[in-house]
Structure 1
Amino acid sequence: MADSRNQRAGGTRVRRLAAALCGASILMGVAGCRDVPGPPPCLPPAYSVTPSEARPGDQVTVSAQDTTCDARYGADAKVQVTVRDAAGINVLEGLAPMTDDGGFTFVFTVPAGMAAGNAGVTAYPYALDWCDDTGVNNRAASGLESLVRVSCVERLVPMVILAG
């Protein structure tokens, strides 16, 4: 019995190590990550910001389509959207409903006092372990499994704030 548990634990460690190496290879631009055991990666969906240029008082839409994998965010899932100015200061934060597969639409008004220049928008599943770059769904694992974060590469979609 103990051997069986040790083999399972060893297999989990091997999968995590393979996933970590694969994630590091992708970040360094090295190709060849394949044959990582387990289900295919399921990362949060890519999102868009429309329009990419706006003035204070204009409405901007941040949205994503559902993933094509089984993300399992849950029936009450939310996305957290953050708008940052050129200095990296959060000027707006908000939550919006998100589908079980990560799709969402969030509309915001550019704050009146936001300075003209470059800005950026981030959108991530709220209150979930989203930052495992391997796409391993840590929330859907069966049994007690410890979470392993490979890295937390933050996606920032650029936008330009025009003078009001």
Structure 2
Amino acid sequence: MAFRLKDRDRRPAIFASVGALVLAASISGCSSTTGGEPPCLPPAYSLTPTEAKPGLSVTVAAPDADCNPRYGKNARIQVSVTDATGVEVVNTTSAMNDAGGFTYTFVVPAGTAVGEAAVTAMPYNIDWCDDTGRNNRVARARDVPFVRVSCAVPVKPLTITH
């Protein structure tokens, strides 16, 4: 007789695994395989508040990076929120500055499932943690050395209540 967990029963394990990957990447600082400037990752973002109910506002924000990510004057941040049942309830882009700083506020949609939601915020349409062999952040810049890095997708928990 096979034992099968429901998707809902796996959610804490999935969040723990993602959290462990993010922690491991932050501890290692992401590894560099070539010379040049150190890896320039997006700045860490925060959520305020970290607990909300449908209809309330949540702000996702990040300061400027301590390095030069060169996102450009038309840079965008992609923010997504996936509720406790796995439904993506927010998926949008907002303005981000050249150094990666941004502030985006959204209203928790009605019908968002109670429990722990996952919030991600990543530079939009940019291979922000490039491990493909080309540096999308400095396209057309031939005199800038490429630094190869590898990272996990950043995820912040947002507790949804009634």
Deviations along 1:79-136, whole A, 9 cap, x unmatched? 0000011233211111110000000000000001101111010000001111337xx9
Deviations along 1:38-66, whole A, 9 cap, x unmatched? 10221011000110000000000000000
Q: Which residue is equivalent to 2:109?
A: 111
Structure 1 segments, 4+ long, off by >6 Å, are none
Number of aligned residues: 134
Q: Residues 87-126 of structure 1 correspond to what in structure 2 (within 5 A)?
A: 87-126=85-124
Any unmatched runs of 5+ in structure 2? 1-23
Q: Residues 2-13 of structure 1 correspond to what in structure 2 (within 5 A)?
A: none
Any unmatched runs of 5+ in structure 1? 1-25
Q: Which residue is equivalent to 1:68?
A: 66
- The amino acid across from 1:161 in the alignment is I
Q: Is the 8 A contact 2:39 2:147 kept in 1?
A: no
Structure 1 residues 61 and 30: alpha-carbon distance in aligned structure 2, compared to 1, 3 A threshold: closer
User: Quick one: percent identity of the two aligned structures?
Assistant: 52
Q: Which residue is equivalent to 2:154?
A: 155
Structure 1 residues 39 and 137: alpha-carbon distance in aligned structure 2, compared to 1, 3 A threshold: farther
> Highest relative contact order (Cα 8 Å, sep 6+), 1 or 2?
2
Q: Is the 8 A contact 1:71 1:100 kept in 2?
A: yes
- TM (norm. structure 1) is 0.70
- The amino acid across from 2:127 in the alignment is D
What is the RMSD computed on CA atoms of the aligned residues? 3.2
Q: Which residue is equivalent to 1:37?
A: 35
Q: Which residue is equivalent to 1:140?
A: 138
- The amino acid across from 1:118 in the alignment is E
Shift of 1:68: 1.1
